[in-house]
Every structure is written in C-alpha cells, then in structure tokens.
Structure 1
Amino acid sequence: MGRPKQFDPETAVEQAMQVFWRHGYAGTTPQCLVDTLGIGKGSLYNAFGGKRQLFDLALRRYLDAHAAAMDALLEEPGPVKERLRKTLHLLAETDLADPDRRGCLAMNTAMEFGHSDAPLTAMTRGMLDRTDRALQALVEEGQRAGEITRARDAKDLAALLLNTVTGLRVMARIESGPERIRRAIDTTVDLL
C-alpha cells in the first residue's frame, strides 16, 4: 500500500499558479515550485508529471476562473454600456492594485510562448475566443436595446473590445497610474 499524499493537489495547483504568474514559465524552476508547494521533487513529478504538466493545470485553473468571473460581470443586470465599463474598469483596477503587476497570466503566456507551443497557444486562444463570444453577445444585446450603434457589425465591435481588454491587461503591467487606461476604457465604451 502506497503512502497517502501529504498535500492537497488543488491547493498545490493554486500555489503553482501564483508562482508561474509571478515568474513566468521560464523563470520558474522546479526547485522554486517544490519550495513553494512544500513537497519533494519526487512528489511533484509523481503527482503532476513535471513542471510543464503543472503549468498546464495552473493555466487551465486561471483560464476557468477568469472566464467565470468575466461572464458573471458581463451578465449582471443593468445597461449594457455600464456593465461593460464596470467590467473593464474592474479588470484594470485589479491589475493596477497588484503590487507585483503580474497582469493576466493568459496574456503573459501568449507573450512568452507566442506560436512556439501549439497546446498553450490553443489554450490562450480558446480563452480569447470565449471572451470574444461573450463580448459579441453583450454588443448584440446593446444593439437590440438601442444602447450600442448598429452602424458596425457586432462581431467587429467585439473584436475592438477584445483588443481593448488585452491591451489594458498589458498596459497595467507598466503604467504608473490608472489615468491613461481609464481614458482608453471610457473612450472605447463611449464610441460604441
């Protein structure tokens, strides 16, 4: 009979996500992971298969949580433009309030790996596609309600909004304050 696990795998994935988020994939060593998780290298490899497999689990956890939070914000009651503005401001404020300025783990992963890793590209693209669909649904709702112009296709406006979301997540990593990001958000929403 094997020894019982001395750690909770879900907690370990959460802790690993925080390490990868702070240091990136390349900047995270297996030793850093075992030190943070409080487990031996053997346990890391036995439980997760290795650094890459743990990164995949951590990124999936982040993507699922991010998508659920974004969906909840966009589906709140109220005028469409105000829900959108509130969501974008909350994303920016959250990123700016992070003392480590980690930004978005998905965007960080996309920038670190680009197209060099097909599975990671597929995961991050999947999140962007899901966000795009949610934004398109919101734009369509706003167009039906007369809040958002019908002069542009909802798909095109969703692409603009997705670009705004990804851009603000990157900008928040380096901006010294919220002013420029707030202006970009408000101008984008007002142009709809």
Structure 2
Amino acid sequence: MAGRPKIFDENQAIEKATEVFRNKGYNTASADELLNAMGIGKGSFYLAFKGGKQELYVKSIEQFSEGFYKKLAEGIEKSENGIEFIRQFFLSQAYSPDCEKERGCYLGNSLVQLSEKDAEIKKTSIKIIKKLQQLFAEVIEKAQKNDQIKSTENPKILAWHLTNLWNGIHVTRRMESSPEILKSIIELNLKLLD
C-alpha cells in the first residue's frame, strides 16, 4: 500500500542514529543524515518519534546509557573484586581509541552541550549519571564492609568523586594525548579507593 510506513527495528535504527549524533553532535546532525543512517523514511520516522529529532536524541541517550550501564554492572557482578574492576575500568579510559578522544563521552557531551537548553535532555542525562553514581556507591559500600578498602568516607561521596572523574577524564583526554599522563591522573584520583 502506498504511504504505509516501513517496518523497522527501532533499537537498531536508534543505534545508527546514535553514531550520527556522536560524530556530528545534536545541533549539526541533519534530518537527512539521520534518516539515511537509520534507513527509514520521514513517515516512519515521525510515526515512531512523534517528538522528532529531540525525542530520537533522548531515546538515543537512554539506549546508549542502558547498554553502557548493563555492561559495567555485569562486569562488576562477575568480578571477584568490584573495586578492582572499577579501577581497571577507569585505567582503561587512558588508552581509549583516538576517535573517542575527539568525540568525547556521548553521555557527558549530552549533559554539557544540551542540558541547559533542553529540560528533557537534562532530566535524562541527570538520571543516567545518578544511576552510575549509585552503582559506584553500592560497590564502595560493599568493599568497606568487606575491608577491601581502608577509606571510611561516605560511599555516596566517594561514588560522586568517581562519577566526576569519569566525566572529567573525557574532557581532559581531549587536551592531553599522552596515555601515561592520563593514567597517572586517574591513578592519583583512585587513591581514594585504597
């Protein structure tokens, strides 16, 4: 039938749109670029994303963060030592691929670039960052109870420190290209978990 919307996998389409947003940024990603990447027409797009580009972007952030969070949480759960897993997670940030250095953190970028312009994006970004902070806090609290770390600082404050480090390292590595220097910065920050 003419005019009938094309059936497509929404999660896969959002994943493809995410790459466009990551490479171009929200403001410069055009509707044509998004539609081409997603492999859908305008009719299908507006049936699936009634809020247009903004709704697609929010869903993109949510889907991206759910995948990131799930991978991190599962890694922590499967590890013998959650604190050591977190240490290695942060240290690996010093050696991320060059394209990540240029593009930065997708979630961090959404919070910095658009959260003050768009209340929905700000709400979504804050929810995601707080969820990450809560995960860190749970691991720290458990490690304190099991005497895996000496610090008696409030687990929530230590978790905010890690969340701040996670956001900050993505900004710093855009300016500093030496993995050794980035590793040293991260190691210094992680001393709070000794």
TM-score of the alignment, normalized to the shorter chain, above 0.5: yes
Residue 99 of structure 1 pairs with residue 108 of structure 2: no
Report the alpha carbon displacement of residue 123 of structure 1 after superposing the two structures with TM: 0.7
Per-residue CA deviation, residues 127-148 of structure 1 (Å, 9 max, x unaligned), is 1111111111111111112222
Per-residue CA deviation, residues 152-177 of structure 1 (Å, 9 max, x unaligned), is 22122111111111111222334323
Report the alpha carbon displacement of residue 113 of structure 1 after superposing the two structures with TM: 1.2
Give the aligned length. Answer: 190
Q: Residue 163 of structure 1 corresponds to which residue in structure 2? A: 164
**Aligned mates of 1:78, 1:185 — CA distance in 2:** 22
**Aligned mates of 1:183, 1:141 — CA distance in 2:** 26
Report the alpha carbon displacement of residue 102 of structure 1 after superposing the two structures with TM: 2.0
Q: Residue 78 of structure 1 corresponds to which residue in structure 2? A: 80
Residues 73 and 87 of structure 1 are in contact (CA less than 8 Å); yes or no, is this contact kept in structure 2?
no
**Aligned mates of 1:60, 1:36 — CA distance in 2:** 19
Residue 181 of structure 1 pairs with residue 185 of structure 2: no
Per-residue CA deviation, residues 64-109 of structure 1 (Å, 9 max, x unaligned), is 111111212222322343211112123443xx21525322211111
Aligned pairs for 1:97-136 (under 5 A) are 97-99=97-99, 101-136=102-137
What amino acid does structure 2 have at the position aligned with 1:37?
Answer: M
**Aligned mates of 1:52, 1:25 — CA distance in 2:** 9
Where relative contact order (Cα < 8 A, 6+ residues apart) is larger, the structure is 1
SS of equivalent residue, structure 1 residue 133: helix
TM-score under structure 2 length normalisation: 0.86
What amino acid does structure 2 have at the position aligned with 1:159?
Answer: W
CA RMSD across the alignment: 2.1
What amino acid does structure 2 have at the position aligned with 1:17?
Answer: T
**Matched residues, percent identical?**
29
**Aligned mates of 2:24, 2:46 — CA distance in 1:** 20
Report the alpha carbon displacement of residue 19 of structure 1 after superposing the two structures with TM: 0.5
